[in-house]
């Protein structure tokens, strides 16, 4: 199952950071790679993003009432590589996500993968609460959409945002590849 989380708002960031959702039963991992989630880049996170991601994680658990679900937020890693671990639990099941992903390459887009200092402080405050009822969080205007794993279409606004994040040399290399591909398509059409 693949979900995408996007906040509704003028300056909301697109869901450009893919992460795996792990499912544990009685503290034993039962699902490693069957589920994934696409979230905004950590550098743009707010408390609304945390709420939206926790709400999306709730959807990986079987049928339940909202008041039955509990959440936990943990912060780990060295200061330059902070990672948030968001967990939603229901009875003996837990849906867990690591942001940025455990396999994230911190040499690529390192700034985009870092939480801001105020966000780290907010995450630590949530961590200090321990386990809390997910229903206690205020709802947030967000779009949590199920997406087919094969559907990798990107709207133009998201594409432009992703291109702006690339370093200049990577944008130039991408432009060269696109031009070559378009020329190849044109040559194939003429043949």
- Exposed (0-12), middle (13-18) or buried (19+): which is 1, by Cβ within 10 Å? middle
Q: Are 140 and 160 in the same domain?
A: no
> Which tokens is 108 given?
């690529």
Q: Are 129 and 188 in the same domain?
A: no
Q: Are 170 and 129 in the same domain?
A: no
Which of 37, 174, 173, 24 is CA-nearest to residue 98? 37
pLDDT surpasses 80 at 37: yes
Q: Are 30 and 106 in the same domain?
A: yes
Question: Which residue has tokens 């992460």?
Answer: 19
Which of 155, 174, 157, 158 is CA-nearest to residue 166? 174
Q: Are 176 and 140 in the same domain?
A: no
For residue 80, the model assigns a pLDDT of 76
Residue 29 vs residue 32, higher pLDDT: 29
Residues 6+ apart with CB under 8 A from 139: 51, 55
Is pTM, for the whole model, over 0.75?
no
Query: How many domains does the chain fold into?
Result: 2
Q: Are 168 and 107 in the same domain?
A: no
Q: Are 145 and 159 in the same domain?
A: no
Residue-number span of the structural domain to which 128 is assigned: 2-151
Q: Are 9 and 52 in the same domain?
A: yes
Q: Are 145 and 107 in the same domain?
A: yes
């Amino acid at each position: 199952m693949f979900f995408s989380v996007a906040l509704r708002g003028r300056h909301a960031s697109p869901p450009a950071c893919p992460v795996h959702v792990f499912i544990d039963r009685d503290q034993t991992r039962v699902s490693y790679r069957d589920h994934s989630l696409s979230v905004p880049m950590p550098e743009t996170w707010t408390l609304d993003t945390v709420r939206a991601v926790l709400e999306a994680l709730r959807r990986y658990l079987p049928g339940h009432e909202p008041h039955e679900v509990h959440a936990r937020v943990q912060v780990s890693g060295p200061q330059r590589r902070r990672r948030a671990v968001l967990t939603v639990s229901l009875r003996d099941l837990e849906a867990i996500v690591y942001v940025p992903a455990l396999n994230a390459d911190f040499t690529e887009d390192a700034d985009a993968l870092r939480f801001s200092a105020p966000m780290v402080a907010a995450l630590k405050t949530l961590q200090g609460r321990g386990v809390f009822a997910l229903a206690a969080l205020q709802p947030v205007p967000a779009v949590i959409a199920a997406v087919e794993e094969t559907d990798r279409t990107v709207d133009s606004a998201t594409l432009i945002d992703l291109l702006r994040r690339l370093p200049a040399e990577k944008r130039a290399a991408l432009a060269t590849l696109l031009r070559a591909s378009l020329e190849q398509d044109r040559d194939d059409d003429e043949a």
